[in-house]
Amino acid sequence: MADFSTPGGSGNDFISEFIREDLRSGRFDQVRTRFPPEPNGWLHIGHCKAFVLDFSMAERFGGLCNLRFDDTNPEKEDQTYVEAIKRDIRWMGCDWADREYYASDYYDYLYDLAVKIIRKGSAYVDDLSDEEVSLYRGTASASAGAFTETPPGKNSPYRDRSIEENLDLFARMRAGEFPDGARTLRARIDMTHPNLLLRDPMMYRIRRSNHYRTGDRWCIYPLYDFAHPLSDAKEGITHSLCSMEYEIHRPLYDWFIREAEVFPSRQIEFARLNLSHTVLSKRWLLKLVEEKYVSGWDDPRMPTIAGLRRRGYTPDSIRSFISQVGLAKVDSLVDIAFLEYCLREDLNKSALRVMAVLKPLKLIIENWERGKTEMMEAVNNPEDEGAGTRQLPFSGELWIEEEDFAENPLPKYYRLYPGNAVRLRYGYIVTCTGFDKDPVTGRIRSVRCTYDPSTRGGDAPDNRKVRGTIHWVSSREAVPLEARLYGHLFKAERPLAVPDGPDGRPGTFLDNLNPDSLEVLDGAWGEPSLASAAPGDRFQFERLGYFAADPDSTPDRRVFNRTVGLRDTWAKVKGKATQ
Ligand code: ATP
Ligand code: MG
């Protein structure tokens, strides 16, 4: 299993091998990587895989990793995205120090290289429209990928303009003499190349659009395939790691570096991360945000780093997940349950245990001295002795979970029912004596019991067998909570695989949204220690799952997101109790 996220780890993955070979052969004498996000959305866990890889490869080989905003697309980019991206990378523990760069700072440099390429006769200004360009390239008729049998393209009638004319026209494009879309600068490669991307790709287009950093200074903008390799070269990037979909762009990457005669950065591709029951594409995530299917980029159901953070994920659990998924050249779909497994493993070690009741039912202890409160000692984390203990108030009126009482229990139900005894965690053993039911609705309003004073702490001195243990919160001291429980954002494992609707209309991925992905329980109660929880604090609510305090909390009501259920243990307990 590749453990690329552990610098100093074995490093036996294919990327480490390439890098090692490049250092051995003298192709490079140091390692420089970069993470190049486009500031047009927030980062998701797929980007996280990419930048953890970029940073950890640099670290493993004693090199450095740059953060470069790949911002050459003025319509969609924005400073707020820049801020969000930086915050999320930092939260994951990656540090680019002062190596923060912007492709938009390279516009002059890129322009000069375009001129250099024109001077060599390797680029020309074209007057064809976008549609005509597609037609001439053969893309309009090609149905599938770039390597399908497409008939050779046709040269543009403007392809053989003189170098002088091209230089003049390109300068005038920059000066704003032509309307948007009237002309483009194209690389002069090969209109018959089987890889359509090499059929004279576009280098510059005219676009009068305000850029969030360069304002109206430019009316021509460079395209990705031209800007990216040359930006890498400018920063002396040795290994430009990117996802597999750029593999067919690699000949172009190398072509521009050769033609511009710049630092020979090397592109290496790896498989994208795909996760079940969600979408990892900014385009679709943006749609969910804009059309308000979620509360924002940081909605705890989103696969964004900010969403995962708000949900209660730890950077360690995400790193562990990424490292265990490992590196490959072939795309695969990772079950989101595996991400949850990594999270549970991590939280189990670190999260403080507390008691909270999500669907409360009043339990009245009939033989408890009125007004008396006892303090019970509770363990903060059985996995970590150093976490110590705390005192829990216990009184004659407690909240218990609705489903921990049954008027007519099924076989093997070991919790409360008339005549049965249960252990109240850290408290006493109680025996159910009756209940009070609303005659109209049939709802149980409260349950009555008596306690055995000799069982303090939950031990039965007479070795009586008490099979069930339930959690509780003393009602007088309880802190009001709102609990938000989450399901998968999408019902379908692959939300983007959408069959046509019954009416024959094409479906959309929105058809696969899970209508039950959020359940809000606003009448929950927590033990007193939860009053001081700060947003982001993580807990295990005993028997209920891991929870994280949400920034929506107010002094009157603490809001908690269920990060993940306990499933492994809880499903077993639950299965036994209700089978
Ligand atoms: P999206 O598909 O979400 O719009 P993008 O590739 O357009 O992603 P960029 O901001 O350009 O977004 O991505 C920055 C880097 O992150 C790229 O190098 C890209 O290869 C990588 N990346 C994006 N998505 C994934 C993914 N799912 N798995 C691994 N790497 C990814
Ligand atoms: Mg991109």
382 contacts: CB under 8 Å, gap ≥ 6: 353
For CA atoms 290, 292, 293, 294, the dihedral sign is positive
Q: Count CB-CB contacts under 10 A for residue 157.
A: 12
Q: Is 50 exceeded by the pLDDT of residue 2?
A: no
The whole-angstrom distance between residue 110's C-alpha and the CA centroid of its chain comes to 33
Please list the active-site residues: 38, 272, 282
**How far is Cα 17 from Cα 270, in angstroms, rounded to an integer?**
13
The domain that holds 465 is classified in CATH as 2.40.240.10
User: Is the beta carbon of 242 within 6 A of some atom in ligand 1?
Assistant: yes
In a domain, 383, yes or no: yes
Looking at residue 4, its pLDDT comes to 56
3-state secondary structure of 143: coil
**How far is Cα 114 from Cα 247, in angstroms, rounded to an integer?**
23
User: Is the beta carbon of 39 within 6 A of some atom in ligand 1?
Assistant: no
Query: What Rg, from alpha-carbon coordinates, does the chain have?
Result: 31
In a domain, 118, yes or no: no
Beta bridge partners of 475: none
Please give the distance, rounded to the nearest whole angstrom, from the Cα atom of residue 49 to the centre of ligand 1.
Answer: 9
In this prediction, residue 1 has a pLDDT band, given cuts at 50, 70 and 90, of: very low
Please give the distance, rounded to the nearest whole angstrom, from the Cα atom of residue 522 to the centre of ligand 2.
Answer: 41
Q: Is 50 exceeded by the pLDDT of residue 575?
A: no
Among 294, 319, 318, 320, residue whose Cα is nearest residue 308? 318
| Probe residue for ligand 1, chosen from 43, 224, 243 as the CB with the greatest number of ligand atoms within 8 Å | 243
Query: Whole-model pTM?
Result: 0.92
In a domain, 210, yes or no: no
User: Is the beta carbon of 46 within 6 A of some atom in ligand 1?
Assistant: yes
Better-predicted residue by pLDDT, 187 or 6: 187
**How far is Cα 417 from Cα 535, in angstroms, rounded to an integer?**
38
CA angle at 486 for the pair 482 and 488, rounded to the nearest 5°: 170
Q: Is 90 exceeded by the pLDDT of residue 3?
A: no
Cite the beta strand spans of 444-566 per DSSP E. Answer: 444-451, 469-470, 473-474, 479-486, 518-526, 538-541, 545-549, 558-564
**How far is Cα 164 from Cα 211, in angstroms, rounded to an integer?**
30
Among 145, 490, 517, residue whose Cα is nearest residue 333? 490
- Burial classification of residue 522, based on how many CB atoms lie within 10 Å of its CB (0-12 exposed, 13-18 middle, 19 or more buried): exposed
Nearest atom in ligand 1 to 272's CA? 28
CB 40 within 8 A of CB 81: yes
93 contacts: CB under 8 Å, gap ≥ 6: 315, 319
In this prediction, residue 457 has a pLDDT band, given cuts at 50, 70 and 90, of: confident
Closest residue (by CA) to atom 25 of ligand 1? 46
CB 365 within 8 A of CB 453: no
- Burial classification of residue 328, based on how many CB atoms lie within 10 Å of its CB (0-12 exposed, 13-18 middle, 19 or more buried): middle
Looking at residue 381, its pLDDT comes to 95
In order, the DSSP letters of 27-96 are: S-SS-EEEE---SSS--BHHHHHHHHHHHHHHHHTT-EEEEEE----TTT--HHHHHHHHHHHHHTT---
**How far is Cα 506 from Cα 195, in angstroms, rounded to an integer?**
30
Element (H, E) at 575: helix 570-578
In order, the DSSP letters of 88-118 are: HHHHTT---TT-EEEGGGGHHHHHHHHHHHH
- pLDDT tens track for 194-247: 999 999 999 999 999 999 999 999 999 999 999 999 999 999 999 999 999 999
Nearest atom in ligand 1 to 273's CA? 28
Looking at residue 461, its pLDDT comes to 76
* Encoded tokens for 348: 């189990």
Looking at residue 233, its pLDDT comes to 98
Listed range (1-5, 140-144, 162-166, 258-262) with the worst mean pLDDT: 1-5
Total number of residues shown for the chain: 579
Average pLDDT over residues 282-308: 97
Please give the distance, rounded to the nearest whole angstrom, from the Cα atom of residue 318 to the centre of ligand 2.
Answer: 22
User: Is the beta carbon of 243 within 6 A of some atom in ligand 1?
Assistant: yes
Better-predicted residue by pLDDT, 420 or 10: 420
Looking at residue 574, its pLDDT comes to 37
427 contacts: CB under 8 Å, gap ≥ 6: 376, 394, 451, 456, 457, 458, 472
Among 396, 354, 389, residue whose Cα is nearest residue 533? 354
User: Is the beta carbon of 40 within 6 A of some atom in ligand 1?
Assistant: no
Closest residue (by CA) to atom 4 of ligand 1? 282
* Encoded tokens for 470: 């339930």
Closest residue (by CA) to atom 13 of ligand 1? 37
Average pLDDT over residues 295-300: 98
In a domain, 271, yes or no: no
Beta bridge partners of 474: 398
Looking at residue 151, its pLDDT comes to 87
Better-predicted residue by pLDDT, 231 or 502: 231
Q: Is 50 exceeded by the pLDDT of residue 570?
A: no
Listed range (3-17, 28-42, 465-479, 533-547) with the worst mean pLDDT: 3-17
| Probe residue for ligand 1, chosen from 38, 45, 47 as the CB with the greatest number of ligand atoms within 8 Å | 47
Q: Is 50 exceeded by the pLDDT of residue 572?
A: no
In a domain, 518, yes or no: no
Looking at residue 576, its pLDDT comes to 43
Looking at residue 504, its pLDDT comes to 77
Nearest atom in ligand 1 to 36's CA? 14
Domain that holds residue 454: 356-478
- pLDDT tens track for 359-415: 999 999 999 999 999 999 999 999 999 999 999 999 999 999 999 999 999 999 999
Listed range (154-158, 353-357, 499-503) with the worst mean pLDDT: 499-503
Please give the distance, rounded to the nearest whole angstrom, from the Cα atom of residue 289 to the centre of ligand 2.
Answer: 19
Looking at residue 463, its pLDDT comes to 76
3-state secondary structure of 478: coil
CB 218 within 8 A of CB 180: no
User: Is the beta carbon of 38 within 6 A of some atom in ligand 1?
Assistant: yes
DSSP 8-state symbol, 304: B
412 contacts: CB under 8 Å, gap ≥ 6: 576, 577, 578, 579
Q: Count CB-CB contacts under 10 A for residue 410.
A: 10
pLDDT > 70: percent of the chain = 94
**How far is Cα 367 from Cα 355, in angstroms, rounded to an integer?**
24
Q: Is 90 exceeded by the pLDDT of residue 518?
A: yes
**How far is Cα 441 from Cα 459, in angstroms, rounded to an integer?**
38
Burial 497-510 (b: 16+ CB within 10 A, else e): eeeeeeeeeeeebe
Q: Which residue has the tokens 């994920």?
A: 313
**How far is Cα 221 from Cα 229, in angstroms, rounded to an integer?**
15
Among 208, 223, 226, 227, residue whose Cα is nearest residue 75? 208
Q: Is 70 exceeded by the pLDDT of residue 146?
A: no
- pLDDT tens track for 173-203: 999 999 999 999 999 999 999 999 999 999 9
Among 115, 74, 111, residue whose Cα is nearest residue 231? 111
Cite the beta strand spans of 70-197 per DSSP E. Answer: 100-102, 123-126, 184-187
Please give the distance, rounded to the nearest whole angstrom, from the Cα atom of residue 329 to the centre of ligand 2.
Answer: 18
- pLDDT tens track for 77-86: 999 999 999 9
Domain count across the chain: 1
- pLDDT tens track for 306-340: 999 999 999 999 999 999 999 888 888 999 999 99
Looking at residue 147, its pLDDT comes to 52
Q: Is 90 exceeded by the pLDDT of residue 6?
A: no
- Mean pLDDT rounded to a whole number for the chain: 93
3-state secondary structure of 536: coil
Better-predicted residue by pLDDT, 383 or 570: 383
User: Is the beta carbon of 273 within 6 A of some atom in ligand 1?
Assistant: yes
